[in-house]
């Protein structure tokens, strides 16, 4: 086979065979295919797409490009939850201890922040001592003992995705449906879970900006997961506004803990309860209404919070910070952003909110950047709220005062204030089984 022929076939709109796709992935991971040819193929896929068969073959090739994990030593049904990425999305920190406290096992591999979106691993590393890089045996031992462990994706898992993602990131080919599907599901399927619930975000803060595109993404991921023998479900959820009020690593851990105590923001609580209930239903713990009751009780009686604290301790973190989140240090500087005019917050460009948080130091602009764990944004007004001129719309936190001007400008530009109260949109827009 020749890479030239494969690129040409896709450029001209042809469908690649499974053998061609596997040959490409194998050659790319082994360093036999150069980045410029892989980039050309990604761009051809971006413009010409891939059908479901090609996307399945690409996903399985990504999955098989490295180590496949074996969780058979973990007793009980194993579940995973994955978000396609959003702003202020700390749902994994809330949902996974809830379901673990209710008897399903969570052996979770999570990612770091990507572009304007945050990542669970960065958030957990805001807890002092928390280790996100455990040996596999220790990881399985904690899952068996506590019910849950969360670690970063180890380097040997789906290495094709690591290479391809870095390439897509710099060649404007991230937001391609077959490439996103194969990237996410390739990684998920390399782990050994029985059930996967996907939180597919839609709107201005997500990679897929319209509900139609997000639904298509969800349908393909669910179908490919089923083809790999997994129990699958996807929720299409709103990312036209940040989730909760906190954006930034330690701010989000604190908000997640408040939510586990039953004192979290309404939207975040609603989505976490829905995701946890769907996971439990998929794991056959009861019908949806029964699962929802169990979830609310686990929050009320603090068993979910207790499970989270136990996981933190087992992974080397200081659980006192979970039981007393006021211990998280505050950023050195804070700055209030005020409304320039009065009216309703009609809409926000959520991606820009994520970028503003990056500008404050909460994420990375280059792979080498060190995250400022206390940096971020605490919103004071969200879509639908009324503000007077001069009212606070957000508080910015950073270790470096000079970062405020750019973040404030980004935030103000992204916040549309108008006369009419916008219609309230549901948080869960659709469910794909």
- The CA radius of gyration of the chain, in Å to the nearest whole number, is 21
Give min distance, CB of 10 to ligand URA, in A: 18
Nearest to 229 by CA among 188, 288, 171, 178: 188
| Alpha-carbon gap, residue 164 to 213, rounded angstroms | 22
By beta-carbon distance, which residue lies closest to ligand URA?
183
Helices (H) and strands (E) in the chain, counts: 17, 13
**Size of residue set near ligand URA by CB under 6 A:** 11
**Nearer to ligand URA (CB atom), residue 198 or residue 339:** 198
**Nearer to ligand URA (CB atom), residue 169 or residue 413:** 169
56 binds ligand URA (CB under 6 A): no
Q: Which residues contact 110 (CB under 8 A, 6 or more apart)?
A: 92, 119, 120, 121, 124, 132, 150, 151, 152, 153
187 flagged as catalytic:
yes
Query: By CB under 6 A, which span of 178-186, 267-275, 328-336, 361-369 interacts with ligand URA?
Result: 178-186
Q: Angle at which helices 177-190 and 35-48 pack, to 10 degrees?
A: 120
Q: Which of residues 288-327 bind ligand URA (CB under 6 A)?
A: none
Give min distance, CB of 221 to ligand URA, in A: 11
Give min distance, CB of 379 to ligand URA, in A: 24
In 3-state terms, what secondary structure has residue 85? Answer: coil
Give min distance, CB of 45 to ligand URA, in A: 12
User: What is the H or E stretch that residue 366 is in?
Assistant: none
207 close to 85: Cβ distance less than 8 angstroms: yes
**Nearer to ligand URA (CB atom), residue 111 or residue 248:** 111
Measured over the CA atoms of residue 162, residue 132, residue 267 and residue 347, the dihedral's sign is negative
**Nearer to ligand URA (CB atom), residue 174 or residue 323:** 174
Burial of 321 (0-12, 13-18, 19+ CB in 10 A): buried
**Nearer to ligand URA (CB atom), residue 131 or residue 174:** 174
| Alpha-carbon gap, residue 39 to 46, rounded angstroms | 10
User: How is residue 242 written in tokens?
Assistant: 């940040």
Question: Quick one: which of 29, 104, 157, 180 contacts ligand URA (CB under 6 A)?
Answer: 180
Q: Which of 65, 101, 183, 357 does the annotation list as catalytic?
A: 183
Please report, for residues 41, 169, 278, 333, the alpha-carbon distance to residue 137 in angstroms, rounded to integers and kept in the order given.
38, 33, 29, 42
189 binds ligand URA (CB under 6 A): no
Question: Quick one: which of 66, 85, 86, 354 contacts ligand URA (CB under 6 A)?
Answer: 85
**Nearer to ligand URA (CB atom), residue 84 or residue 96:** 84
User: What is the H or E stretch that residue 293 is in?
Assistant: helix 288-300
User: What is the H or E stretch that residue 387 is in?
Assistant: strand 386-387
Q: Which of residues 117-176 bind ligand URA (CB under 6 A)?
A: 165, 174
Q: Which of 10, 63, 78, 82 does the annotation list as catalytic?
A: 82
207 binds ligand URA (CB under 6 A): yes
206 binds ligand URA (CB under 6 A): no
**Nearer to ligand URA (CB atom), residue 217 or residue 260:** 217
84 binds ligand URA (CB under 6 A): yes
Give min distance, CB of 300 to ligand URA, in A: 33
User: How is residue 360 written in tokens?
Assistant: 């404050």
| Alpha-carbon gap, residue 391 to 48, rounded angstroms | 48
218 binds ligand URA (CB under 6 A): no
Nearest to 355 by CA among 88, 84, 112, 117: 117
**Nearer to ligand URA (CB atom), residue 189 or residue 294:** 189
Question: Quick one: which of 58, 87, 148, 184 contacts ligand URA (CB under 6 A)?
Answer: 184
Q: Which of 187, 230, 233, 319 does the annotation list as catalytic?
A: 187
Q: Which of 78, 112, 168, 241 does the annotation list as catalytic?
A: 168
DSSP-assigned beta bridge partners for residue 78: 105
Strand segments, DSSP code E, in 41-158 are 78-83, 105-110, 148-152
Give min distance, CB of 183 to ligand URA, in A: 3
User: What is the H or E stretch that residue 4 is in?
Assistant: helix 3-11
**Nearer to ligand URA (CB atom), residue 115 or residue 392:** 115
168 flagged as catalytic:
yes
183 flagged as catalytic:
yes
183 binds ligand URA (CB under 6 A): yes
| Alpha-carbon gap, residue 91 to 107, rounded angstroms | 16
CA dihedral defined by 125, 130, 136, 140, rounded to 10 degrees? -120
End-to-end CA distance of the chain: 38
Give min distance, CB of 164 to ligand URA, in A: 8
Q: List contacts with ligand URA (CB under 6 A).
A: 84-85, 111, 114, 165, 174, 179-180, 183-184, 207
User: Looking at the annotation, which residues are catalytic?
Assistant: 82, 161, 168, 183, 187
């Amino acid at each position: 086979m020749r890479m030239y022929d494969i690129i040409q076939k896709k450029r001209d709109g042809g469908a690649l065979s499974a053998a061609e796709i596997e040959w490409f992935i194998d050659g790319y991971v082994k360093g036999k295919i150069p980045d410029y040819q892989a980039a050309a193929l990604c761009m051809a896929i971006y413009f010409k797409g891939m059908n479901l068969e090609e996307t399945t073959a690409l996903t399985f090739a990504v999955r098989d490009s490295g180590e496949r994990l074996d969780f058979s030593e973990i007793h009980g049904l194993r579940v995973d939850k994955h978000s396609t990425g959003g702003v202020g999305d700390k749902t994994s920190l809330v949902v996974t201890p809830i379901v673990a406290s209710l008897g399903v096992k969570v052996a979770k591999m999570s990612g770091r922040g990507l572009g304007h979106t945050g990542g669970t691993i960065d958030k957990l590393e805001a807890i002092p001592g928390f280790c996100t890089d455990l040996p596999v045996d220790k990881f399985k031992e904690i899952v068996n003992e506590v019910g849950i462990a969360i670690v970063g994706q180890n380097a040997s898992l789906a290495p094709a995705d690591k290479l391809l993602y870095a390439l897509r990131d710099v060649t404007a080919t991230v937001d391609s449906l077959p490439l996103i599907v194969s990237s996410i599901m390739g990684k998920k399927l390399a782990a050994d879970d029985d059930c996967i619930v996907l939180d597919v975000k839609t709107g201005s803060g997500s990679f897929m900006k319209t509900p139609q595109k997000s639904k298509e993404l969800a349908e393909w991921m669910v179908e490919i997961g089923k083809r790999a023998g997994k129990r699958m479900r996807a929720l299409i959820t709103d990312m036209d506004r940040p989730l909760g009020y906190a954006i930034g690593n330690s701010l989000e851990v604190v908000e997640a803990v408040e939510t586990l105590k039953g004192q979290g923001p309404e939207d975040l609580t609603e989505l976490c309860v829905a995701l946890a209930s769907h996971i439990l239903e998929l794991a056959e713990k009861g019908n949806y209404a029964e699962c929802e009751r169990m979830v609310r009780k686990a929050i009320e009686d603090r068993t979910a919070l207790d499970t989270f604290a136990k996981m933190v301790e087992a992974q080397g973190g200081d659980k006192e910070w979970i039981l007393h989140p006021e211990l998280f240090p505050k950023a050195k500087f804070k700055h209030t952003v005020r409304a320039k005019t009065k009216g309703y917050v009609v809409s926000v460009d959520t991606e820009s909110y994520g970028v503003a948080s990056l500008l404050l130091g909460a994420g990375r602009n280059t792979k080498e950047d060190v995250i400022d764990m206390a940096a971020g944004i605490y919103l004071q007004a969200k879509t639908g709220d009324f503000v007077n001129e001069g009212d606070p719309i957000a508080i910015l936190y950073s270790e470096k005062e000079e970062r405020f001007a750019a973040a404030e400008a980004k935030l103000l530009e992204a916040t549309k204030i108008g006369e009419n109260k916008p219609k309230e949109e549901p948080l869960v827009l659709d469910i794909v089984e």
